A and B are shown apart, each in its own frame.
Chain A
Amino acid sequence: VMMTPTRDRLGPVITSLLVALVLSIIPLPEVVEPLRPYWVALVLIFWCLETQGIITLGAAFLLGLGLDLLTGSLLGMHALGLVILTYLVTRFRPRLRFFPPWQQALSVLALLVNDRIIVVWIVSLRGDSLPSASYWLAPVIGMLVWPWLFLLLDRYRGAARQRAHS
């Protein structure tokens, strides 16, 4: 029988995703703003890889809607991106999990670039102006951030688990 997601498993997931949401609207200077890593996606990828049954497509969709509301973007834009991202991670989860770190980071880059392509496609359909070239640097930053974020979240999860058991 599949275990139901208990509270101590859900806690860290929700907290870290909330932090990611906040990070994605915190003000940055205009120059570095396009370089902001897609925090929500990165955190989502981590939990999708490391837990089972929590990050469902529906959860990703709701999270995306939340992000849409928060950033005031077209409702469904981030939701679409995150659902596709979650689908890909879930689908290739067994392989992704046992990749060496650098290879995993490259997969993350591919996922983020794919997401940006979807966003650009939507934006161009809508007739908004296309983003500058630095927009494509954000996935690279995301890839560079990934190993450190992975370590950080892994530690955080371990600490949370210990606290729950003691």
Chain B
Amino acid sequence: LVRGDAVVGAKFSGQAALTARLMMYVLIAIVLMAMDHRGQYVPRLRAWADYLVEPVYHVVEWPLRALRGTWSYFQSSQSMLRKNKDLADQLLAQQSRLQRLESMEQENQRLRALLDGSGRLEIDYQFAELVDVDLDPFSHRVMIDRGQDRDVEIGQAVIDGAGVVGQVEEVGLHFSRVRLITDPNHALPVQISRTGQRTVAFGLGNTSRLSLPNLPREADVREGDLLVTSGLGQRFPGGYPVAVIESVDRSEGRMFAEAMARPLAALDRGRELLLLKNPTPQPLPSLDDAASTNPEEPDSVAPAAGQDEPQAAAGEPATDDNTADPSTADEAPVEEAINSEPAADDTTADPSAAGETSVDEAASSEPPTDAAVDEEPPADNSNEDEGQQQ
């Protein structure tokens, strides 16, 4: 039969056969694309086939790496020394800051223990370096030089020194592909660190902009506000800086205000990246837990109700005084508690109280990672606020 086919094929090897074969391949291609788009079967096939093309990445990568190596070899020792000194200075500064944070962290840990919440999750980091290849220009993705061999997993968050970069999308043997937060198909749950307002940041296909298209019109958002990950959606641990608000558009005739933000991470030029190891999902304090702790502390309800209000009503500047914004309540009180120990009892009740007042609030106190990593931004915040007052 096969031989018969070949004979027939030879006889009809004119235009008609060519067109017929064209149709066949077009059909196969369309089916493949549809399946790949829907994530049926093809992704698995892809993961396997990626091994075949990996050597090409090595071919591209190797000379560039060698070139960079040689370049750094020939850099004058003078500039190296200068750089070294700069880095040492930087390290010292960071370390002194870290010391303070560490004591705060212990404090926080202790308070959480008092609260009966589960302990904070240690987040592990893993270094990765960008691989110099240009992928499909229609999506914002980059390659990194860690793959299955280093236990990289799909969905891991990727950050750099300044902010969130993206998430691992495909894992190869020695490489992984990372979708950047600026990819037009990427949405990142974020929180405005000054007010606690939660929203979603969408990529626009431009490495210097993120869009926040669905803020309430009356939301308290300003230029210069810091966006941090909110920890919702479980992909990104909360509290990592993402972007800074650049402009807010509240033009008439729109349902929502739209804000534009500039990502903090060096998306188009950074080389060194950190992969956050997904903390093994420990039993998160669920909504029920948060609610159940409430009846024991009825006196906490009043302040909580007070907190909930301003967030919806777009905090007046008046609410800005000493304790930062009330809607950041789930973080701010902890801050305060650290400063003055005796206050601990009142304030630690707050997050759980917030959990009762609205589902939204509860969600914030839900992932332990959220608050655990959140220490830093509020610290900055309160400083800012003080600065404004003075």
Residues in A lying within 8 Å of B, measured CB to CB: 18, 21-22, 24-28, 30, 33-34, 36, 57-58, 61, 64-66, 69-77, 79-80, 83-84, 87, 90-91, 122-123, 126-129, 131, 135
Q: Are A129 and B56 in contact (CB under 8 A)?
A: no
Q: Are A123 and B138 in contact (CB under 8 A)?
A: yes
Residues of B within 8 A of A135 (CB): 137
Residues of B within 8 A of A80 (CB): 25-26, 29-30, 33
**Interface-facing stretch out of B99-107, B127-135, B348-356:** B127-135
Minimal Cβ-Cβ distance residue in B for A126: B37
Known interface pairs A76-B33, A80-B33. Does A27 touch B205 (Cβ–Cβ under 8 Å)? no
In order of increasing CB-CB distance, the 7 nearest A-B pairs are A76-B32, A80-B29, A73-B136, A76-B29, A76-B33, A129-B184, A75-B36
CA distance A74 to B52 in the complex (A): 17
List 14 A-B residue pairs with CB atoms under 8 Å apart, sorted by A's residue number. Answer: A27-B133, A36-B134, A57-B25, A65-B49, A66-B52, A66-B53, A69-B52, A70-B56, A72-B170, A80-B30, A87-B22, A127-B185, A128-B139, A131-B138
Beta-carbon contacts under 8 Å, B43-62 to A: 45-46, 49-50, 52-53, 56-57, 59-60
Residues of B within 8 A of A73 (CB): 135-136, 138-139
CA distance A91 to B177 in the complex (A): 38
Is B112 at the interface (CB under 8 A from chain A)? Answer: no
Minimal Cβ-Cβ distance residue in B for A79: B29
| Contact with A25, one of B19, B45, B135, B185 (Cβ below 8 angstroms) | B135
Is B198 at the interface (CB under 8 A from chain A)? Answer: no
Total count of chain B residues near the partner, CB < 8 A: 44
A22-B60, A61-B25, A72-B139 given; name 13 further pairs at CB < 8 Å. Answer: A27-B60, A27-B132, A30-B207, A58-B25, A70-B56, A72-B170, A75-B45, A77-B29, A80-B25, A80-B33, A84-B22, A129-B138, A129-B205
Q: Are B132 and A128 in contact (CB under 8 A)?
A: no
Known interface pairs A22-B59, A70-B56. Does A57 touch B18 (Cβ–Cβ under 8 Å)? yes
CA distance A163 to B52 in the complex (A): 30
CA distance A90 to B49 in the complex (A): 29
Q: Are A26 and B205 in contact (CB under 8 A)?
A: no
- Interface SS majority for chain A: helix
Known interface pairs A22-B56, A61-B28. Does A27 touch B22 (Cβ–Cβ under 8 Å)? no
Residues of B within 8 A of A24 (CB): 134
Residues of A within 8 A of B170 (CB): 72
CA distance A73 to B49 in the complex (A): 13
Is B94 at the interface (CB under 8 A from chain A)? Answer: no
Give the distance to chain B from A145, nearest Cβ to Cβ, in Å: 18
| B115-146 to A contact mask, C-beta < 8 Å, 1/0 | 00000000000000000111111110100000
Known interface pairs A66-B53, A69-B53, A83-B22. Does A131 touch B29 (Cβ–Cβ under 8 Å)? no
Is B219 at the interface (CB under 8 A from chain A)? Answer: no
CA distance A83 to B29 in the complex (A): 9
Indicate the member of B32, B42, B170 with the most A CB atoms within 10 Å: B32
Give the distance to chain B from A137, nearest Cβ to Cβ, in Å: 13
Is B15 at the interface (CB under 8 A from chain A)? Answer: yes
Q: Are B136 and A71 in contact (CB under 8 A)?
A: yes
Q: Are A25 and B134 in contact (CB under 8 A)?
A: yes
Minimal Cβ-Cβ distance residue in B for A34: B137
Q: Are B138 and A28 in contact (CB under 8 A)?
A: no
| B173-209 to A contact mask, C-beta < 8 Å, 1/0 | 0000100000011000000000000000000110100
| Contact with B36, one of A30, A71, A76, A90 (Cβ below 8 angstroms) | A76
| B1-44 to A contact mask, C-beta < 8 Å, 1/0 | 00000000000000100110110011011111100110000100
Is B64 at the interface (CB under 8 A from chain A)? Answer: yes
Q: Are A26 and B133 in contact (CB under 8 A)?
A: yes
Give the distance to chain B from A30, nearest Cβ to Cβ, in Å: 6
